[in-house]
Amino acid sequence: MSEPVNNEARERRSRVIRTALLLALMAVAVYVTFIVLAAERGVGLR
Amino acid sequence: MSTATHAEHHDHGHHPTGLLRWLTTTNHKDIGTMYLVFSLVMFFIGGTMALVIRAELFQPGLQFVDPAFFNQMTTMHALIMVFGAVMPAFVGLANWMVPLQIGAPDMALPRLNNWSFWILPFAFSLLLLTLFLPGGSPASGWTMYPPLVLQTGNAFPFLIFAVHLMGLSSIMGAINIIVTIMNMRAPGMTLLKMPLFTWTWLITAYLLILVMPVLAGAVTMLLTDKYFGTAFFTAAGGGDPVMFQHIFWFFGHPEVYIMILPAFGIISEIIPTFARKPLFGYSAMVYATASIAFLSFIVWAHHMFTVGMPLAGQLFFMFTTMLIAVPTGVKVFNWVATMWRGAMTFETPMLFSLGFVFLFTIGGFSGLMLAIVPADLQYHDSYFVVAHFHYVLVPGSVFALMAGVYYWLPKWTGHMYNETMGKLHFWISAISVNLTFFPMHFVGLAGMPRRIPDYATQFSDFNAIASVGAFLFGFSQLLFVYNIWRCVKGGEKATTRVWDGSHGLEWTVPSPAPLHTFDTPPVVR
C-alpha cells in the first residue's frame, strides 16, 4: 500500500492495521489458551 | 453489476528484474503466481511419494522399499500434499483473484504477503531435507500421534519447526485475506454482492486463524515433551496421549474444510458461467458455507471413536457430523439447480467442475458412513478411510483447483489454453482417479489396514488396479503442465471477458491482467 495521501487513505490504513493486529492477537490468544488448558488438565508442566 | 475499470499499466519507477523481482515483489499477482508454481512443484514431489507407495502395494509382499521407508513415504506424502500443495494452491488463487473480484488494487498488506510466501520454501526445505538425515524422515503419519512421534530420530525438530513455519505462513496469509476483504472492497461491493470464491475464502481465512495456532500449540508441546522434560502427552510422566488426539483433531477437522471451502467457491464461480445462468440460491450458498465452518469445530472426535469415549460423546459427535450433510446438500442441490435448464457448454473448467460435483459427493457419502459409530468401529484405520478422504481431496479439492486454473488461466496469461488437451487431461484424470481410489473402498471394507506395506493375497487384484490407476493419474498431470506452459508461451489471444457467460469485476480487466489493476476503484452497482 502506498503512502497515504489524504484523510480517507490514512483512515483506511489505520483500519487495516487495527484489523490485522486484532487478528494476530486472536491467533496468539488461541495458541496460548490451548497450551495453558493442556497444562491445567494434565501434569504438563509439573 | 456494472463497473468502471482502470487497468492501464503504471510504471512506478525502477523495478528489480530476474530473481530479485520475485524475491522482493509485493504485487498480489506475482505472489499468487509464486504460490501456484510452488504448489505445483510440491504436488509433483508429493505425487512421486504416492507412486512409491502404490508401486510397493502393486503386489503383496515387500517389493521395492523397506517398511520403515514406506512409513516415511505415507507421512511425507500427506504433509506435503496438505500443507505444500493443496493449501498454497488455494492461497495462490486467492492472491490472484480476491483483489480482482472485489476491485482492490492489491492485498491490504503486500509486504506481509511476500513474507508469507517466502517462508514456505524454507519450511519445506527443512521437511524434505530430513530424507537425507540418518534415520530418515518422520514416519509417524501426518497426525503425529504421541508416543510414536516422540520416537522420531533426528528428523523430529525439523518436523516441528517446519510445521510451525507452515502455520505462521498460513496465519499471515489468512490475516491478509480477511483485512483485504473487510477494508479494500470497491464502493458498492457489499458483502452480499461478493463473488462466492471471495466469500468462501473469507470464511476459510477465519478458520485458519482459529485452528492453525491450535496445531502450533500441539506441536510446541510435543517439542517440549521430547526435549525439555515436560509430560503433556507422555503417559510415563503422568501426561495423556489421548489429549494430543483431541487437540490435533480440533485443528484437523476444520483443516479438512480449509481444503474444501475454497473449492466450493471455485465451483460456484464456474458452473454459472458455463450454464449461462446466475448461481441458484446465492445467499443460501453463503449461509451453507458459514454453517459448514461452524459445524467443523464441533465434530472433531469422530476421528477418534475407536479411542473410547462416553456414549453421550459418541452420540454427540455422530449427530453433529451427520448434520454437516445438510448444508453440503444445499450446495450440491444449488449447483444442480443452477445447471437446470441452463444453456450448458462443456469446456475444460466445466468438465472438472462436473467431475467435482459427482466425485466429491461420493467422498461425502462415505464420510456419512464413517460418521456412524458402530460402523466406524469396523472401518477405522482401514483402506475405506483412505478411499473416503482421497475422494474428498483429489477429485474434490484438486479437481476444483484444476478447474480454477483452466478457468482463470486466459485472464492470467492473455492466451487460451489448448481445449482438446484440456479435455483429454480431464477424461484421463477422471477415469484414473476412480481406478485408483474406488477399489480402496472394497479392500477397506474387507479389512485391509492403511499404512501397511504388505497385505493378504485376497486384496491383490484391487491393489493392482489401484496402482495402475495411480500411475496413469500421476503421468496424465504432465499434460496439465504442458498445457499451462504452452498457454504461458503463446496461443490464441484471450478476450477481456474470456467466457461467454462470465460475470464479475475480474472479467472487466484486460487479458492478460496488467500488473496493476483498479488503481482507481471501480463502482459496483
Check the CA dihedral B118-B123-B124-B128 and report its sign: positive
Question: Hey, which residues of B are catalytic here?
Answer: 77, 106, 142, 169-170, 253, 255, 257, 268, 302-303, 328, 331, 450
Q: How many CA atoms lie within 13 A of A4 on its CB side?
A: 12
* Cβ-defined contact of A15 to B221 (cutoff 8 Å): no
Residue A42 pLDDT: 65
| Res B517 pLDDT > 60 | yes
pLDDT digits (tens, 9 = 90+) for B283-292: 999 999 999 9
Helix B348-371 × helix B261-275 angle, to 10°:
140
- The answer to whether the beta carbons of residues B129 and B211 sit under 8 Å apart is no
At B47 the three-state DSSP class reads helix
- Average pLDDT of span B264-272: 98
Q: Which residue is it, cell 485408483?
A: B436
User: Which DSSP category does B412 fall into?
Assistant: H
Mean pLDDT computed over B36-48: 98
| Structure-model confidence comparison of residues B38 and A44, the more confident one | B38
Closest partner CB to A16 (pick from B108, B211, B213): B108
% chain B with pLDDT above 70? 97
User: First-to-last CA distance in chain A?
Assistant: 48
On chain A, the residues whose CB falls within 8 A of the CB of B211 are 30
Gap between the Cα atoms of B7 and B11, Å rounded = 12
Q: Locate the chain A residue with the closest alpha carbon to B229.
A: A45
Cβ-nearest to A24 among B175, B182, B183: B175
Yes or no, beta carbons of B232 and A42 under 8 Å apart? yes
- Chain mean position to CA B168: 17
Residue of A nearest to B206 (CA): A23
Question: Chain A interface, mutation test: which of B181, B182, B183, B233, most A Cβ atoms within 10 Å?
Answer: B183
Distance from CA of A10 to the nearest CA of B (A): 12
Nearest beta carbon to residue B247 from set A38, A43, A46: A38
Minimal CA–CA distance to B463: which of B27, B60, B3? B60
Predicted local confidence at residue A41, as pLDDT: 75
Q: Give chain B's mean pLDDT.
A: 95
Would you state the cell numbers that stand for residue B39, as one nine-digit string? 504448489
Which residue of chain B is at minimal alpha-carbon distance from A24? B175
Asked whether residue A46 carries a pLDDT value surpassing 60, the answer given is no
Percent of chain B with pLDDT over 90: 95
Burial code (b: 16+ CB inside 10 Å, e: under 16) for B283-312 equals eebbebbbbbbebbeebbbbbbbeeebeee
Give me the residue from A35, A38, A46 closest to B238, CB to CB: A46
Residues in chain A closer than 8 A to B238 (CB atoms):
42-43, 46
Q: Where does the pLDDT of residue B14 fall: very low under 50, low under 70, confident under 90, or very high at 90 and above?
A: low
Which of B87, B40, B56 is closest to B393 using CA atoms? B87
Cell of B399: 479437481
> What single string gives the DSSP state of each residue in B463-522?
HHHHHHHHHHHHHHHHHHHHHHHHHHH--SBP-SS-STT--SGGGGS-SSPPSS--SSPP
Å between A20 CA and nearest CA of chain B? 6
pLDDT digits (tens, 9 = 90+) for B297-324: 999 999 999 998 999 999 999 999 999 9
- The single residue listed with the C-alpha cell 449427530 is B319
Task: Quote the CA–CA distance of A37 and B244 in Å, as a whole number.
Answer: 12
Query: Rounded to the nearest 5°, which phi and psi values hold at B493?
Result: -65, 135
Q: Please, what sign has the CA dihedral across residues B250, B256, B262, B265?
A: negative
The answer to whether the CB atoms of B247 and A23 lie below 8 A apart is no
Q: Of the candidates A19, A34, A44, which has its C-beta nearest B179's C-beta?
A: A19
How much is the pLDDT for B2?
Answer: 40
**CB B371 within 8 Å of CB B301:** no
Chosen for mutation from B102, B170, B177, B221 (greatest number of chain A CBs closer than 10 Å) is B221
Total-model pTM: 0.94
The burial class, CB within 10 Å (0-12 / 13-18 / 19+), for B478 is exposed
Instruction: List % helix, strand, coil for chain A (3-state, nearest 5).
Output: 75, 0, 25
Cβ(B505)–Cβ(B522) below 8 Å:
yes
Residues B273 and B499 sit within 8 Å (Cβ to Cβ): yes
Q: Which helix (H) or strand (E) holds B176?
A: helix B155-183
Q: What does the alpha-carbon distance between residue B499 and residue B502 come to, in Å, rounded to a whole number?
A: 5
User: Residue B13: what pLDDT?
Assistant: 54
Taking a C-beta distance cutoff of 8 angstroms, is the pair B231, A18 a contact?
A: no
CB contact under 8 A, B213 and A28: yes
B91-139 pLDDT per residue, tens: 999 999 999 999 999 999 999 999 999 999 999 999 999 999 999 999 9
- Are A23 and B175 within 8 A, CB to CB? yes
Q: pLDDT tens-digit profile of B270-284?
A: 999 999 999 999 999
pLDDT at B525: 82
Distance of CA B206 to the CA centre of its chain: 16
Is pLDDT above 70 for B7?
A: no
- Residue B242, judged by CB atoms within 10 A of its CB (0-12, 13-18, 19+), counts as middle
Rounded to the nearest 5 percent, the helix, strand and coil shares of chain B are: 70, 0, 25
- Return the ∠ at Cα B496 (arms to B494 and B499), rounded to 5°: 70
Contacts of A27 in chain B (CB under 8 A): 171, 175, 209, 212-213
Interface test with A, best of B116, B230, B251, B300 (most A CBs within 10 A): B230
In B220-355, DSSP assigns E strands to: none
Inter-chain touch A34–B240, beta carbons under 8 Å: no
Q: Write the CA distances from B496 to B146, B298, B436, integer angstroms.
A: 54, 44, 39
pLDDT digits (tens, 9 = 90+) for B178-232: 999 999 999 999 999 999 999 999 999 999 999 999 999 999 999 999 999 999 9
- Beta bridge mates, B449: B382
What local confidence, expressed as pLDDT, does residue A1 receive?
52
User: For position A45, what pLDDT does the model report?
Assistant: 41
What is the model's pLDDT at position B496? 96
User: Which of B109, B174, B214 lies at the smallest CB-CB distance from A30?
Assistant: B214
Q: Cβ B213–A45 below 8 Å, yes or no? A: no
Nearest CA in chain A to B213: A31
The dihedral region occupied by B61, where left means phi > 0, alpha psi between -120 and 50, and beta the remainder, is left
| Nearest-CA distance B218 → chain A (Å) | 7
- Taking the C-alpha atoms of residue B430 and residue B362, their distance in angstroms, rounded to an integer, is 13
CB distance B232–A38 less than 8 Å? yes
Considering only the beta carbons, identify the residue of A1, A12, A44 that sits closest to B231: A44
Q: How far is B328 from chain A (nearest CA, A)?
A: 28
**Residue B52: phi, psi to the nearest 5?**
-60, -45
Size of interface A-B (CB pairs under 8 A): 85
> How is residue B232 annotated by DSSP?
S
Q: Chain A closest CA to B478's CA: distance in Å?
A: 38
Mean pLDDT on B392-401: 98
Distance, in Å, from the CA atom of B376 to the CA atom of B373, rounded to the nearest integer, reads 5
Is pLDDT of B59 > 50? yes
Q: For residue B142, what is its C-alpha cell?
A: 501426518
Is B46:B52 a contact under the CB 8 Å cutoff? Answer: no
Contact B231 A28 (CB under 8 A): no
Q: How far does A8 lie from chain B, in Å, by closest CA?
A: 12
The pLDDT score that the predictor gives to residue A40 is: 81
Q: What grid cell was written down for B33? A: 503466481
Distance from CA of A13 to the nearest CA of B (A): 9
Reported for B452-461, long-range contacts at CB under 8 A and 24+ positions apart, including other chains, are: B453/B56, B453/B57, B453/B62, B453/B65, B453/B67, B453/B70, B453/B71, B454/B60, B454/B61, B454/B62, B454/B67, B455/B57, B455/B60, B456/B60, B457/B60, B459/B60, B460/B59, B460/B60
Residue A2 pLDDT > 70: no
